[in-house]
Amino acid sequence: MRMIIKGGRVVDPEKLDGIMDVYIENDTIAAIIEKKNDSPPFKEDDADRVINAEGCIVAPGLIDMHVHLREPGEEYKESIETGIQAAGAGGFTSICCMPNTKPVNDSKEVTTYILKRAMSLRSVRVFPVAAVSLGLEGEALSEYGELKEAGAVAVTDDGHPVVNSQLMRRAIEYSKSIGIPVISHTEELTLSNGVMNEGPVATRLGLSGIPNAAESIMVMRDIAMAELTGGPVHIAHVSTSESVREIRAAKQRGVPVTAETAPHFFTLTDQSVAEYDTHAKMYPPLRAAKDRRSVCEALADGTIDAIATDHAPHSALEKEVPFDEAANGIIGLETSLPLGLRLVDEGLLTLPQLIEKMSLNPARILGLSAGVRIGGKADLTVIDPSRQYVYHAAEGFSKSRNTPFDGWEMKGRASFTIVDGRIVHEI
């Protein structure tokens, strides 16, 4: 299979930014041609597919390091097949799936099942993230060495905090010894028994609130654990200004901590809950405007390393209920890129910074490969930054529709998602 991507703006934040032609042979980038007098590896007539990328961005394949695929066990919400279809449509060439499935991914058997199922579909790459503790119960560690050998790239009890600090210490030490990071779900359970952000909006709606400290206390605990052990800790779904402050200070001290946030935290505030909209209910909850500003500033200055969707599908059974009873979480694979491009349009991030946070940094944190380089894997995302459309969840690929962005006018979309030199999605 031979492919040429012609005339696009090739952006690899580490080394490339210019109008170039990318030549792909089988699963590999064979050449990147900038000057017309450079010799291509094959002629255009010999290509199986030529993509005109004029006006588009050719980026390293996007990587989402925080996705809930729900399979095995809750395929009525999402399956591996529908999840990777949504990922491809969103421009993601790789996704990392969380372990809170049924059964929990705390064994090589579940990890192997996920990988075999994903590979059989020959589409977007799936990298399993295994459980910190057996059954997500926070009592005994999973067998990380066995899980890594089976294909897990990190460990987390996402959806549940690791309450026991001694267990967290051991988890970081164990994961450090085998070379995978711990991803921390930061939640102080005795403070997080509300249903939305604590503040004036919650008071007006008569809903119980969750203070910022419910997140930031555990952020501080896990920074202390990383400092104690010297092992890497990645903080998931950062939403508060206090968390940003502590992560920034920890990085300045040289603590091996990284962090991610989600598009809803740099786009929305708790005002989105004003009509008791359960599609705006999640954990951490949408915060105040000052927190949103802090998250944007942290993305700009590098305090927050990555943008991850925390794609969390739920059916109407879990969402079309009273707000207090609704499940936490929203889908996000098909809206992450255009929401990220808003930050570029607003001047908060440069385009290379956005690509770094949606591709190269997740790869670096997880020990994956990413980039546009000769001899490298042909995992690429071709982005049309000016394409305008209205996002309708019902027209998406996910089985679920739980999103506060339904009906939003969007700008910017993945035109082609290419994995191993194969087009897995195009519009």
What are the tens digits of pLDDT across the range 87-140? Answer: 999 999 999 999 999 999 999 999 999 999 999 999 999 999 999 999 999 999
Q: How many domains does the chain have?
A: 2
Given a cut of 80, whether residue 189 has pLDDT beyond it is yes
104/133 same-domain check: yes
Q: Per the domain annotation, does 229 fall within a domain?
A: yes
**pLDDT given at position 35:** 76
The residue from 343, 366, 389 where one domain ends is 366
Q: 126: closest CA among 105, 97, 153?
A: 97
Q: Does 143 map to a domain?
A: yes
- Give 244's Cβ-side CA count (13 Å radius): 21
- At residue 291, the pLDDT reads 98
Structure tokens at 289: 């405007």
| CATH code at position 23 | 2.30.40.10
Give how far Cα 77 sits from Cα of 72, 73, 278, 329, 331, Å: 11, 10, 16, 12, 11
Query: For residue 143, what pLDDT is reported?
Result: 98
The pLDDT assigned to 398 comes to 98
Tell me if residue 159 falls in helix, strand or coil: coil
For the domain that residue 362 is a member of, what is the CATH number? Answer: 3.20.20.140
- The answer to whether residue 154 scores a pLDDT higher than 80 is yes
**CB neighbours of residue 336 within 10 Å:** 24
CB 425 within 8 A of CB 417: yes
Would you state the pLDDT for residue 190? Answer: 97
66/48 same-domain check: no
For residues 370-393, average pLDDT: 97
Same domain, yes or no: 44 and 133: no
What is the C-alpha to C-alpha distance for residues 331 and 403, in angstroms, rounded to an integer? Answer: 6
User: Is 130 in the same domain as 167?
Assistant: yes
The rounded distance, in Å, linking the Cα atoms of 332 and 380 is 20
Before 72, cis peptide (omega within 30)? yes
CB neighbours of 70 closer than 8 A, spacing ≥ 6?
Answer: 77, 78, 79, 83, 101, 313
Mark whether 41 and 133 lie in a shared domain.
no
3-state secondary structure at position 9: strand
Q: Is 310 a catalytic residue?
A: yes
User: Of 21, 64, 157, 310, which one is the catalytic site residue?
Assistant: 310
Q: What is the pLDDT of residue 382?
A: 98
Please say whether the beta carbons of 157 and 104 come within 8 A: no
| The predicted structure's pLDDT at residue 226 | 98
Where is the domain boundary, 366, 387, 410? 366
Task: Return the closest-CA partner of residue 127 out of 91, 58, 171, 180.
Answer: 180
Residue 55 has pLDDT above 80, yes or no: yes
Residue in the structure block whose two tokens are 């993509």: 51
Type and span of the H or E element at 388: strand 380-390
pLDDT for the residue numbered 318: 97
Residue 257 counted as domain residue:
yes
- Point out which residues pair with 21 in neighbouring strands: 33
Do 17 and 108 share a domain, yes or no? no
The answer to whether residues 380 and 410 belong to one domain is yes
- Residue at 371 is within a domain: no
In this model, does residue 340 exceed pLDDT 80?
yes
Choosing from 319, 344, 366, the residue where a domain stops is 366
What's the pLDDT tens digit per position in 298-317? 999 999 999 999 999 999 99
In degrees, rounded to 5, the angle at the alpha carbon of residue 37 between the alpha carbons of residues 36 and 41 is 90
Question: Is 69 found in the same domain as 24?
Answer: no
- Which residue carries 């903080």 as its tokens? 235
Give dist(CA 127, CA 115) in Å, integer.
7
Question: Does one domain contain both 99 and 17?
Answer: no
pLDDT score of 37 more than 90: no
Task: Please tell me the predicted confidence (pLDDT) of residue 210.
Answer: 98
User: Do 182 and 156 contact (CB within 8 A), yes or no?
Assistant: yes
Q: Where are the alpha helices (DSSP H) in 25-120?
A: 80-89, 108-120
Start-to-end C-alpha separation, the chain? 20
Structure tokens at 52: 């005109």
- pLDDT band at residue 38 under the 50/70/90 scheme: confident
Q: Answer yes or no: do 224 and 301 share one domain.
A: yes
Confidence of residue 36 (pLDDT cuts 50, 70, 90): confident
* Inside any domain, residue 322: yes
Q: How far is CA 414 from the centre of its chain?
A: 16
Strand segments (E) across 79-215: 92-97, 125-128, 155-156, 182-184, 196-197, 209-210
Same-domain check for residues 397 and 270 = no
- The reply to whether 35 and 90 lie within a common domain is no
Question: Of 36-45, 174-183, 199-208, 250-259, which range is least confident?
Answer: 36-45
Q: Where in the sequence is the domain holding 384, given as residue range(s)?
A: 2-58+376-426
Burial-class residue 155 by CB neighbours within 10 Å (0-12, 13-18, 19+).
buried
Percentage of residues in the chain having pLDDT higher than 70? 100
Query: Beta 306-307 vs 257-261: how paired, if at all?
Result: parallel
Question: Could you read off the pLDDT of 197-240 as tens digits, one per residue?
Answer: 999 999 999 999 999 999 999 999 999 999 999 999 999 999 99
pLDDT at residue 69 above 80?
yes
pLDDT reading at 39 higher than 80? yes
